[in-house]
Structure 1
Amino acid sequence: MLNFLIKTVANAAALAAAVWLLDDITLTGSSTGGKALTLLLVALIFGVVNIVVKPVVRLLSLPLFVLTLGLFTLVVNALMLMLTSWLAGLVDLPFHVAGFWTAVLGGLIVSVVSWAVNLALPDRS
């Protein structure tokens, strides 16, 4: 359970970096606390999407991973970020990713920042 919470906070930090760096990934809110709560909720959605949907997509697109030597991962990460944005919209969270190429850059930023944060934090399995 603690490991899940640590990964959720790492995802929230990575999503915050993407929101900060890219103008087309938006997070609106009236207060800093509201934005932080929204980021944590979006990180939970992102975590669930990565646990449930991403393995299925990776399995179905395995030939593309092999053909592109793993670069198709960028497309899969972008699709997961766009799905997260869509699901956040369904539950009225003010988080939006505008466009596929923004999602590709956002997915790259989220991956790098999440990797760095998880590297810095202890792994508790």
Structure 2
Amino acid sequence: MSIIIRIIVNAVALWAAVLLVNGIEVTTSSLVGQIAVYLVVGAIFGVVNAVIKPIVKTVGCAFYVLTLGLIALVVNALLLMLTGWLAGLLNIPFSIDGFWPAFWGAIIIAVVSWLLSLFVGGNDD
């Protein structure tokens, strides 16, 4: 059940990022299609974060220490860009137009996910 909640939290956070950041887009017009896109991209984003983020944190530990953790903002943006790329490979109408939209989108996603996790009792890393 916690996986489903995590996907829904990711989907809502992605929706907020699409609304607030120019350059992050969902290009389907129907409401049901948009909800499906957010849920699928939320699942992809969750898998990317669960698999790749720990590897990057372990390999780049020195950079995290050296930059006092600020490199995490760049890593999160790159993981969001990877999610957009994977969505494109799967023909999902979700796109990110570059690093800066991904950077600001990743910050919004992190904040919204954190806030929603406080309410639904999700566990963050």
Q: Same fold (TM over 0.5)?
A: yes
Partner Cα separation in structure 2 for residue 74 and residue 123 of structure 1: 21
TM-score, normalised to structure 2, is 0.95
TM-score, normalised to structure 1, is 0.95
**Conservation of the 8 A alpha-carbon contact between 2:6 and 2:122:** no
> Which residue of structure 1 lines up, in the alignment, with residue 28 of structure 2?
29
> Which residue of structure 2 lines up, in the alignment, with residue 106 of structure 1?
105
SS of residue matched to 1:70? coil
Structure 1 position 58, deviation (Å) = 1.1
> Which residue of structure 2 lines up, in the alignment, with residue 59 of structure 1?
58
CA displacement 1:15-67 (0-9 Å, x = unmatched): 00000001100101120110000000000000000011111111111111001
Q: Which amino acid aligns with 1:63?
A: A
Structure 1 position 109, deviation (Å) = 0.4
> Which residue of structure 1 lines up, in the alignment, with residue 81 of structure 2?
82
CA displacement 1:66-93 (0-9 Å, x = unmatched): 0111111101100110000000000000
SS of residue matched to 1:103? helix
Partner Cα separation in structure 2 for residue 45 and residue 37 of structure 1: 12
Which is worse superposed, 115-124 or 24-33?
115-124
Q: Which runs of 5+ in 1 are unaligned?
A: none
Q: Which amino acid aligns with 1:90?
A: L
Q: Which amino acid aligns with 1:88?
A: A
Q: Which amino acid aligns with 2:41?
A: V
Q: Which runs of 5+ in 2 are unaligned?
A: none
SS of residue matched to 1:29? coil
CA RMSD of aligned residues (A): 1.0
Partner Cα separation in structure 2 for residue 30 and residue 123 of structure 1: 31
Q: Which amino acid aligns with 1:12?
A: A
Structure 1 position 123, deviation (Å) = 4.0
> Which residue of structure 2 lines up, in the alignment, with residue 72 of structure 1?
71
Runs of 4+ deviating beyond 3 Å: none
SS of residue matched to 1:6? helix
